[in-house]
Amino acid sequence: MKVKLLTAGELAKLIRTSTAQVYNILSQDPEGTKLPKSIRVGRRRLWPESEIEAWISAQLENQSETGIKPKSHPQPKTINRI
């Protein structure tokens, strides 16, 4: 059985955020509710690819259950003038 482990940088690329943001979320939420579950190998934190895929699927299911839909077009910015 081969298990592919991803680094924080690889996880960041996959979920389209920065490596620093991954570590910030990890420090705020060590239980792993905002990120997939990870394991420690020595001083490194690694994410099993299967956990990442399961986490993404759960996020998509949760989004469809709550009815939250991503914005297809950003709202135009307004300028408040006095």
pLDDT higher than threshold 90 for residue 17: yes
Provide, rounded to the nearest whole percent, the portion of the chain with pLDDT above 90.
45
Beta strands in the chain (DSSP E): 5-6, 39-41, 44-48
pLDDT higher than threshold 80 for residue 51: yes
Query: How would residue 8 be classed by pLDDT, with cut points 50, 70 and 90?
Result: very high
Cα–Cα–Cα angle for 51, 52, 58, nearest 5°? Answer: 90
Query: Residue 20 and residue 34: Cα distance in Å, rounded?
Result: 15
Which of 32, 57, 41 is CA-nearest to residue 5?
Answer: 41
DSSP-derived letter for residue 67 is T
Query: Residue 18 and residue 82: Cα distance in Å, rounded?
Result: 38
